[in-house]
Chain A
């Protein structure tokens, strides 16, 4: 019997699977046991052809392949290479000892080529933690695999090279050296594209400011405006003002994208923050993740980036409500009969909606034909758990014609804004590390509604002027308990952007103007306000 290590994907995690092969006299054929999925079962045809094509025909004997642990369902074509190596070792092409502490992954072509698979980064991480001394991977996937520190990986083009690696130490060194060379040229070719720039947009200074605040404080944002006002353009530029991905974040993003099959393995680690814009007809499992086997949804693909939901109220109520958990905890838990699965989903939500279902409300020289009830229903979609977690609400009016024309360079481009965002974030970290001696009562985000205002204010550093303005807002019922906390949190971000430790009255006033109009707006609609 020969055995090699392979890995099965469960969500974004890879779990070790021992692939064992045994050759015995009997009717020729390969039988596979150990809960293989359909694609894994089909591996025997690819392995048989791949092996024959590379000059190592399988013996005309009974071959049994076992995948252990036998109670984990194995899916996908990534088992082709391990199965082939185990079978070839059992058939005597490779010495069985050479497979000791060796892992492998890759899909086989019928001519023996080794192709990349989904989730190679997760596999590499699991292999490192598993104590694998040599991981045989598709050459194309080397960049992605080598993003993980401490992995000893060799890239192979085809099954023959994989066998050579195991048979011949000299050949192995040559292939490792080829891999290193290949990685170096990849790095040279890599072009860092930051995507569309904020400076492309004329006017909309209020909206740009809101993007900056959202980026600095990690606040979710809702944009309200008529069709054509530039909501989508603005949202697409939020990733460009967010801080660059740090090493950990890049790994997280790549892991999810790779598992979803959306990452180009030759790119190595992701360099850009994701921007995902699901259509409003998307189903719950498309947004949150699901299917069998479960795959990450848009919420997870937007991890560490931006989830843009255009026509927000048109999304099904089911989808909108399902955003509650990611907004609150930064992850999604998918529960199925086979068990539950946790996927990362820490994104900045940017919603966009028309002022009314027909889009003409508030538009000069246009007539809105929506009834007040339609408006209530439309805006009502925002209420509840999800609406409560959107800190920033802004209006995006259609541009006046004069705002077009030559760009006069007055507005900051993304790099300038990003520098401010980064300094605000580091100021915040510094401030919070000073506060860490204090008992932790609350942080921005979920569950702050119950914290005592004064304790919160002292943590946030509120000036007297700001305090009295907040008290006034509370006593006039301009904000309620939740609104108070949100206004304070946004004001804190504004102060961080200014690099000051005390929140001033100006910060509070600006924060109040960026808040959810909430019931005031709805009651104005009830009174029939149309403009």
Chain B
């Protein structure tokens, strides 16, 4: 019925990137079908992709499936779902959502995903073809952390995002509030490219307040998900998303994570896949740093500062010979010009270097009166050197 519309975008990809595998043909449809069925709950079928092509799985009879899987219980459910799934029609829905389905077998990153126990049957991608091609070929680092980050964590996430951007490394993260969003933003601010791996359909903006970031990533970077368009986020999707995030990156940097955190799931999956894991040290009394410090204790790479982190990344990442190393750009020199602030301002800045403080605390640390501190902070805020993290509490803006 929708034959004319079903796969134009997908075909374009396949033609451009992988001439040997027909795009709209049975292989494409089989992979799309498997992606749809897997999202419905029979994820086990994805395990077969490690030994069989999507087409074989999609066509397989009950007896073959039972034999391959040693009689898993989901086989009948899979057959039922398969009989009610029509990939050709679904292809038009994917295109209508502004997405492209990149099926299993896309050469550029198959090796990265093959290592997974349950590799995705394909990825739903929102990106320009050029951006996706560069993403698939480029050096990629996952920068992840908690949604409820501290001011410190957010500043570090931004700095790390910038540092990787300046060296041409793709910053991959989950578009979540907190660390994720800050890492994406830092990367984009420094002119880099960033990719988001979502725990919902790639056309679903979640969280809502990251709409603007989502739009920018969709137009300049890459947004991808293994879930079909329109799927709403659900708690059980996020661990699966994290495994994909780990698989698609050459290393994982955990910026800030409490003891139980999705970021630690990402880190553990990355270790399973043999990726390098880095962690940013935090204050030992803060529960939000517990996960990171635990990772460091267990032997994760230590993020000394953003620049050495990027160098360590290049040293450890699998693509050591990547062209990005040769084209290394020096980070922009820090703005060292004297800003002409009064002494109170300088003292206040020094007082804030250890983290956000209230006005009275700044006054005490800087040894100035509460009034002076208040006025100095008012001026510094005006100049953009400090930000208010809550009324009356200031932190350095991280510029």
B360 at the interface (CB under 8 A from A): yes
Q: Is the CB of A395 within 8 A of B379?
A: no
Minimum distance in angstroms from B4 CB to a CB of chain A = 43
Give me the interface of B with A, judged by CB distance under 8 Å.
147-152, 154, 177-179, 181-182, 185, 207, 209, 258, 285-288, 355-356, 358-361, 363, 369-371, 373-379, 381-382, 384, 387-393, 395
A368 at the binding interface (Cβ < 8 Å): yes
B residues less than 8 Å from A394 (CB atoms): 359, 391-392
Judging by beta carbons under 8 Å apart, are A524 and B376 in contact?
no
Q: Is the CB of A362 within 8 A of B390?
A: yes
Q: A517-B391, A531-B389 are in contact. Are A510 and B287 (CB under 8 A)?
A: no
Minimum distance in angstroms from A516 CB to a CB of chain B: 8
A170 within 8 A of B: no
Contact at A509–B375, with CB atoms within 8 Å? yes
In the complex, the answer to whether A511 meets B178 with C-beta atoms within 8 Å is no
How distant is B140 from chain A, measured CB to nearest CB, in Å?
Answer: 23
- Asked if B360 contacts A478 (CB within 8 A), the reply is no
Q: Cβ of A224 < 8 Å from any Cβ of B?
A: yes
Least distance between A219 CB and chain B CB atoms (Å): 15
Contact at B382–A472, with CB atoms within 8 Å? yes
Assembled-state Cα–Cα distance A357/B171 (Å)? 34
User: Interface residue count for A (Cβ, 8 Å)?
Assistant: 45
Q: Which of B152, B209, B359, B384 contacts A206 (CB 8 A)?
A: B359
Nearest-CB residue, chain B, relative to A512:
B378
> Within 8 Å CB of A397, what residues of B?
358, 360-361, 392-393
Q: By the criterion CB–CB under 8 Å, are A362 and B393 in contact? A: yes
- The answer to whether A473 has its CB under 8 Å from any CB of chain B is yes
Bound together, the chains give a CA A507 to CA B372 distance in angstroms of 10
Q: Which listed residue (A365, A509, A524, A527) contacts B379, Cβ 8 A?
A: A509
- Min Cβ gap A336→B in Å is 39
A222 to B391: give the CA distance in the assembly, Å: 10
Residues of A472-505 contacting chain B, CB below 8 A: 472-473, 476, 478
Give 4 nearest A-B pairs by CB, closest first.
A395-B392, A513-B378, A512-B378, A528-B177
A469 to chain B: which residues have CB within 8 Å? 379, 382
A-B contact count (CB 8 A): 135
Give A531 to B356 CA distance when docked, in angstroms: 8
23 contacts between A and B (CB under 8 A): A206-B370, A206-B373, A209-B374, A355-B390, A361-B390, A362-B389, A365-B285, A368-B148, A372-B207, A393-B391, A395-B358, A397-B360, A397-B392, A469-B379, A478-B382, A506-B375, A509-B378, A511-B378, A517-B391, A528-B147, A528-B154, A528-B179, A531-B395
> Does A520 count as interface, using CB distance less than 8 angstroms?
yes
- Do A528 and B181 touch (CB < 8 A)? yes
CA distance A368 to B146 in the complex (A): 13
A510 pairs with B149, CB closer than 8 A? no
Measured in the bound complex, the distance between the Cα atoms of B358 and A355 in whole Å is 13
> Is A282 located at the chain interface by the 8 A CB criterion?
no
- A473–B391 CA distance with the chains assembled, in angstroms: 18
A531 engages B151 (CB within 8 Å): yes
State whether B178 touches A528 (Cβ < 8 A). Answer: yes
User: For A529, what are the chain B residues with a Cβ–Cβ distance below 8 Å?
Assistant: 151, 154, 389
A397, A506, A528, most chain B CB atoms within 10 A: A528
> From residue A509, how far is it (CB to closest CB) to chain B in Å?
4
Complex Cα distance, B198 from A493, in Å, reads 52
Q: A527, B381: Cβ atoms under 8 Å? A: no
> How far, in angstroms, from A512 to B178 measured CA to CA in the complex?
28
Complex CA gap A513/B395 in Å reads: 13
- Supposing A528-B147, A528-B154 touch, asked if A512 and B388 sit within 8 A by C-beta, the answer is no
**A contact residues around B185 at 8 Å (CB):** 527
Residues of chain B contacted by A528 (CB below 8 angstroms): 147-149, 154, 177-179, 181-182
> Contact at A205–B370, with CB atoms within 8 Å?
yes
> Is A367 part of the contact surface with B, judged by Cβ < 8 Å?
yes
Question: Besides A372-B207, A520-B388, 9 other CB < 8 A contacts?
Answer: A224-B392, A395-B359, A395-B393, A397-B358, A510-B375, A513-B375, A521-B390, A526-B209, A530-B151
In the bound complex, CA of A372 to CA of B208 (Å): 11
Instruction: Tell me the complex Cα distance, A469–B378, Å.
Output: 11
Residue of B nearest to A397 (CB): B358
* Inter-chain contact B379/A512, CB cutoff 8 Å: yes
Chain A's nearest CB lies how many Å from the CB of B395? 7
A454-478 contacts to B, CB under 8 A, are 469, 472-473, 476, 478
The distance in angstroms between the C-alpha atoms of A224 and B392, with both chains bound, is 8
| Complexed CA–CA distance, A393 and B392 (Å) | 7
Q: Which residue of chain B has its CB nearest to the CB of A205? A: B370
- Chain B nearest CB from A476 CB (Å) reads 6
Task: For B387, give its contact among A361, A364, A509, A520 (CB under 8 Å).
Answer: A520
Write the chain B residue with the least CB distance to A473: B382
**Cross-chain contact of B376 among A367, A472, A509, A530 (Cβ < 8 A):** A509
CA distance A457 to B199 in the complex (A): 54
Q: Which residue of B lies closest to A511 (CB)?
A: B378
Cα of A397 to Cα of B358 in the assembled complex, Å: 7
Chain A residues in 8 Å Cβ range of B154: 527-529
A170 to chain B, nearest CB (A): 67
Contact between chains at A510 and B378 (CB < 8 Å): yes
In the complex, per-residue mask of A361-385: 1 if CB is within 8 Å of any chain B CB, else 0: 1101101100010000000000000
Confirm or deny: A203 has a beta carbon within 8 angstroms of a beta carbon on chain B. Answer: yes
Chain B residues lying within 8 Å of A224, measured Cβ to Cβ, are 390-392
Query: In the assembly, what is the distance between CA of A355 and CA of B185, in Å?
Result: 26
A336 to B389, CA, bound (A): 45
Please name the residue on chain B nearest to A504 by beta carbon.
B375
A contact residues around B369 at 8 Å (CB): 205
A251 at the interface (CB under 8 A from B): no
Residue of A nearest to B209 (CB): A526
| A271, CB-defined interface residue at 8 Å | no
Interface bits A58-72 vs B (CB < 8 Å: 1, else 0) = 000000000000000
